[in-house]
Every structure is written in structure tokens, then in C-alpha cells.
Amino acid sequence: MRIGNGFDVHAFGPGDSIVLAGVRIAHSRGIVAHSDGDVVLHALCDALLGAAGLGDIGMHFPDSDPLWKGASSSHFVSTVMEMLKVRGWIVGNADITVIAELPKLAPYRLEMRRSLAVLLGVGENQVNIKGTTTESLGFLGRREGIAAQAVVLLAPKPAQ
């Protein structure tokens, strides 16, 4: 078994929605990012890569590469999952925390969980997504952006 963790932050900017865990969520702001700025999937990619000893998301999908401009971050996760598959790893579970004052995640939690389960090729009971705030402290508390932390466990793929 291997454990990995990931962390990501993006600033809010002009716009009327953000993408979290591959789900578009209505918000009074958008996200400043080279890709779609999905902090959940970026933190998840780093956790997966970290668990497998494969570096980080910036190594594999550099934000200087025009190929990734406006890219859907689900593509990053799918690519990382292919890398894990060829190395014989499957996901045991993933636990994710989103840190922001707004938007409120409760109405989207089931959809985000379903989206993550599909991307990771696991059951919904192997994925958990939590929301918290910083009690109005710091840049997240001032609603300047949004952060996510991810922890994943990888297990060897069972022999057929």
C-alpha cells in the first residue's frame, strides 16, 4: 500500500462559476487558472502521483504548455490513472477537503463524489469529500480564493 497527499490553491477572479471535482458550481466569482482551475482534481492528481512516487502535476502538465490552456482537469486525472494502471496500482480510497468560505458545497456533494468515483474507477463509498472554512481568517477567509487537500491510498492490483 502507498499513501499520497496533495494540496492546491487558486484565486477567484471574474466569472460566475467554478469547477470542483469535475462539477460546475455556480458562484459569484470564477477562477484564475491556466486550466479550468479545479483545485480538487489538482490536489487529487498530486496525491496520486505522490503515492506512486511519480513527482507532481506541474512536472507532467506544465502550466507553460499551451496544450493545457483551458484544459479540463479530468483529463489530468485520467492520464495519471493510466500511469498508475500500467504500474499495477489501484485506488483504495480518497479523502478530500475543500477549504473556502463560499461557495457552499452541500448541494453538490453527491455529484462531486460520483464524479470522483468515476474518475478513480472506484465505488462511491471509497471517495469522501468534505468542506470547511478558515473561520474568516487569512486569504481563504477573505474569500480571495479556494483550496483543496487530498489524501489517497493506493493498493496493488490483485492478480487475476
Residues that bind Mg ion (CB under 5 A): 8, 42
Owner of C-alpha cell 496525491: 47
Decide whether 38 or 84 has the Cβ nearer to Mg ion.
38
Taking CB positions, which residue lies at the least distance from Mg ion? 42
> What cell was used for 71?
484544459
**Relative orientation angle of helices 73-86 and 39-52, to the nearest 10 degrees:** 20
Decide whether 29 or 126 has the Cβ nearer to Mg ion.
29
Q: What minimum distance in Å lies between the beta carbon of 31 and Mg ion?
A: 9
Pairing of strands 17-20, 145-156: unpaired
SS3 97: strand
Decide whether 76 or 89 has the Cβ nearer to Mg ion.
76
SS3 35: coil
Decide whether 8 or 21 has the Cβ nearer to Mg ion.
8
Q: What minimum distance in Å lies between the beta carbon of 133 and Mg ion?
A: 20
Q: What minimum distance in Å lies between the beta carbon of 123 and Mg ion?
A: 27
Decide whether 8 or 126 has the Cβ nearer to Mg ion.
8
> What cell was used for 116?
470522483
Q: What minimum distance in Å lies between the beta carbon of 125 and Mg ion?
A: 27
Helices of type H across 18-91 = 39-52, 57-60, 73-86
Determine the Cα–Cα distance for residues 74 and 155; give it in Å rounded to an integer. Answer: 22
Q: What minimum distance in Å lies between the beta carbon of 65 and Mg ion?
A: 14
